Amino acid sequence: MLWILLVAGIAYGQDCGAKPPQRPWAPAITNGRDSDPNAWPWQLSLRYNADGVEPFGHTCGASLLSPNLALTAAHCVDPEIGGPERDIPANFRLIAGAHAMELTGSEQVLSVSEIIRHSRYVADSTIGFPNDIALLRLAAPANLDDPNVAVVCIPENSTHLFDGRPNCWMTGWGLVDFWDGRLPTVLQEGEQELLTNEECQAEFPFPNLRETHQCVGRGADGTPGACQGDSGGPLTCLEDNGKWYQVGVTSFGILGCEGAPSMYTRVAAYREWIIDRINAP
């Protein structure tokens, strides 16, 4: 199989993970559906221009962890993959409060002041793109008084997992059909099951599956899966306390975006790494 990247009581407070009630899933996010407007208020569009000027085009997803910090995939901001311009914060913008791919003027456009890739990230598919996670520090804080913008919770500890739990959703503006290159006009969503690494390895032998990976779905035809442009975006699950937690960061998947699980970076494994940087001055 050919695996590909999917490009195209803590410091952030207790008011995380709140959103409008979620519509139940019914039969891309490939094979997803249009989300309700502002249903996922922590979802961000990461936009890029190598010259650092308008227009900035959607390249990846991201999520808001605090007013000053966003979470995405390291490969979205990797100069080894995208060229040296991807190492320059001024070449990126984050869009908060967006629903449509084409902006309406009501969104928040946020500049990036610092790119923090995990120091042990490696852009190599043969070893599973280890530590595919990055933080983006904002030049000015997002306005959380905006009803369409909120921060997402992160797992309470490294063992706060959601494998086998219901109400886990992938979201993004990635391709809805890989083969014809069709993009959505609005944010897509799809509910999927989370596999344990043991289930994932048994059904889809993957030579470099790591504890820091989260397998999502089984890739059956017609079921939701992440695709190009979804990279860096969140996988979020509803906890019994009524809050939504970011469980994964979209990392990579199989060519065609169907036939195998979507692979995410498991956020719980990086909780302390994230908290240390949220708390940094």
The catalytic residue positions are 75, 132, 231
8 A C-beta contact, residue 158 and residue 21: no
Distance CA 231, CA 248 (A): 11
Q: Where are the beta strands (DSSP E) in the chain?
A: 3-5, 33-34, 43-48, 57-66, 69-72, 92-96, 108-117, 134-138, 168-172, 188-191, 194-195, 213-216, 234-238, 244-254, 262-266
Distance CA 114, CA 134 (A): 10
Distance CA 29, CA 226 (A): 5
Distance CA 226, CA 7 (A): 10
CA 193 to chain centre: 16
8 A C-beta contact, residue 214 and residue 265: yes
Residue 68 structure tokens: 């000053």
In the numeric block, the tokens 């949220």 are attached to: 278
